[in-house]
Structure 1
Amino acid sequence: MPPTLGALLRTPRLRLRLLTGEERLDRRVGWVAVSELTDPTPYLAGGELVLTTGVRWTDSVPDHRDYVRRLADRRVAGLGFGVGVVLEETPRPLREAAAEFGVPLVEVARETPFIAVGKEVSRLLAKEEYEGLTRAFAAQRELTRAALAGAPSIIDRLARDLHAWVLLLGGDGAVTHAAPAAARRHADVVAAELPRLRQAGVRASASVETGGQRVSVQPLATGRRARGYLAVGAGGPLGSDERTLVNAAVSLLSLELERGGRGPSVHAGEGVVVALLAGALDPLHEGAAPLREALPSEPVVVGVGAAAGAGHPPAGVLVAEHEGRALLLAEAATPGAVIRDVLDGPIGVSGPSGYADLDTALAEAERARAAALEGEGGVVRVGDLPGGLLGMAETPVGARMAKDLLRPLSDQRTGAELLASLRAYLASAGRWDAAAEALGVHRHTLRYRMTRIRDLLPGDLDDPDYRAELWIALRVRGVE
């Protein structure tokens, strides 16, 4: 949630003074908008703290009542007036209008730059986001721990963390667990949505209302078949942290249904594999032995393909389709023939990895697949590609970035000459004589070219980070 107006007023260094709206200090401030327009509302989204000095206000122009009414209609968080710039005090008509329309009015001292207020809101937003992520990860850990006791424990924990009611339904729509038990009375409303969900497919979800509450219904999918459904009812829309927790529960429940059915040698639900690769599921948790039993043994490899193939994954292989591609998680010893059978190409495969490094393995698989797309297709393993940081840059994406970085030089009539000069200069660590000798030109000629290069490039050649980027770009472009 964004910071409140009250939190800003309690920041001493800002020297903010509340003039009206004491009963509205709990209003959330989504951003700070500085505007001297007589009508800034076309440029506001709602929830902003609007700051102005009234620089365009003259004795004959401002209609304070109309100005504040527009802000109230846009549902701003508040209005801040900077004194000591144009006016020495906040105009009384502005105070009266703010009180009439319920817009909190804050006086900003001359010593407080508006940018300081904006920075404080940005800091509080970042702090709130960090705390939200911390809460979300802690809740996910507890949810994973609950999974060790089975699906009912997941449902109970989810209901407790969301302060909502939760239903777990089987593939036939029958309620298998409810938290709290009274949530079963919503089962008929949820069951009425299931035929539409079945028709829409396992990636669809539904949202309905019952008893003044919003209910989200999601399938628990194993491959292309829903083995159950999760329904969550709350008094209002779920926040991003809460939605993340629901997605983690979907992943855990999908895995639980998979283990309780045909075991791990089937297509995993999309949420399971994606949650593993995103770090939402932690199979290395201190008590997560049952979770690990359903997963491929370490070391594992990650694969990325165009789509899931027709072949049935053997034991030790999990496959899911996600965002127009297929993801594979398999034991490192899995033969290439098996990977080609369960994924459609072009296919990229990472090197052996532990569960703690799945994010790196996914990046490796993406890089290998990019090489497969550029080449003849088939299966490309990351071990077959050039190594090191330079190897990671030698991908289609890296080539495009290199081209963009060097474009100011290559677009010139003498582009080849400038690129060669830059490469020689960087290769010789800026030693003029050595670089000029390598090019076969006089050092004054090289100095002239380097002056032009400095003028054309947007970055600073004395910055080691920028020089490193240029060097890698030159290597990727194959400039000699």
Structure 2
Amino acid sequence: MREGAAVLADVGGGGPRRSGTGTRPADGLGSLTIADFLALPLTGEGLPAVLAGADGLGRSIRWVHVLELADTEGLLQGGELILTTGIALPQERAEIRAYIDGLVAQRVAGLVIELGRRYAEVPPVMVRACERRGLPLVALRREVPFVRLTEAVHSALIDGQRELLQRTAAAHERFTALTLAEAPAEELVRAAAELAGGQVVFTDRLHRLLALDARDGSAELLLGRWRRRTRTLAPAVGAEADAESCSATAPVQARGRGWGRLTLFTAHPPGPAQLMVLERAAAALAIRLLIEGEDELVANARRSVLADIIAARHGSPEAVHARAEALGHPTRDRTYLPLVVLGAGADLTEPVRGALADTRLHALHGPFVADRWGVLLLLRDDQSDEHVDAFARGLHARCADLGLPPVTIAAGGAVTDFPGVRPAFGEAADVVLAARAGGPHSKPRSCHRIQDIRLRGLLYTLRDDPRLQAFAERTLGPLLLRDARDGGGLVRTLAAYLGLRGNKSLAAQELGISRPTLYERLARIQRLLQLDLDDPEAATSLHAAIMLIETRAAGPSEDPVFAS
């Protein structure tokens, strides 16, 4: 053999691409850098000194090669750390420069020279040549057996590869389980951040933010790093690390085309294990994309921001603004108007989106519980109630065009900060349920507001109060007992009469009975209750009690915010 003492087997190999320079990867698995080599206790025994190429200490070592020859052509494959005593190196300056140029041309990681056998100190021409070509040059000022150095590096690489395989298996198992469970994109991104030990951002090809996990850090700062990184990103075919920005990216591809990108940010240059996690997560997201489709992923991201605002999980307002704007929905300097749409469990994505486009309004929206849809309108100063009503009318029309069941729409109070959104949604929920529970003579409206529901709405929101329940039972008790005993329909008769403001002809017509029959029933009601129906206060009390009885049929009150 033309080579010297010991040669290690190639345990590194190819793998994901890396760019830039840096220090030891955060995970250190399956990869050893020149900086790591210098930090080995055994290397320290040799009193190492970096003479040139310090910017390249973050280069990965593919293997360690002991080489005591000046002619290296055809002996190297790239990524080697060359160990030499210099005993066979040339003396002439031009030949020394040519030797260094040859190493660089073969993409070696660095050069380590042990002083004593050939050189008392490394020739200055060699130092200058390495510095000019950016090749790390290290001098060992005390003798250390090369065989021990190669064994130490070999063990470190093997141990790293073993742990990398274990981490790969764990990541594969985790993402397979999440995929089979049809976990949403947010959960897949959360798993990627946990397994990679960093912060993760998932965007589509238009750079719209679909999910992120800042771990214990600031989402606002994470999005700032992401915006700076997107300016320098180029199309990639696989996971790629950038040591300078301590980040890595992996494309999310489905059906042969790039659909989005997963970006990892770490405290140190990402290592092979982190790139592997990123690729596994990207593959799981691609499967999620095939199941849900593009539009559904974007809709879920929009709903996630809305849910975080309602549940006060948003952290700082700036973080919410950044997330919403990355989705294409400006939330800065806007008035927030919550709407609740009560339907029959239909998917309202298309009609809501169409109505928003028709009125040129921005909104965060999505389903909450089965029969309700939340819409948070983001109104500019020049947009008023007229725009809101136009949106509501458009939503009704589009639902009708699509053959969807009729919906009831209600608005809460307008607010100017995120903490006010939750109670405003609660108000909208009360209004929409009260409007849906309205009597047969309630005035139809495209969008209901709290001033529209009046007494019936107030009683609806307070229907669980035991004092009001006692009032209703006390006021209508005799009629309830008589109806329960013989099914005479006296409460229904009284409700029709009072609902039509005492018009006996219309009441008889609605009930489907003759006017004499109505007169007889009203007389019986007055005897049982011992009051005069022409007394305004008595009529008001009876009407309120009937409204309470009707609202109780809707069941107990629910959480007005409908946590999704």
TM-score by length of 1: 0.37
Considering only CA atoms, is the larger Rg found in Structure 1 or Structure 2?
2
Q: Which of 1 and 2 has higher RCO (CA within 8 Å, sep 6+)? A: 2
TM-score by length of 2: 0.32
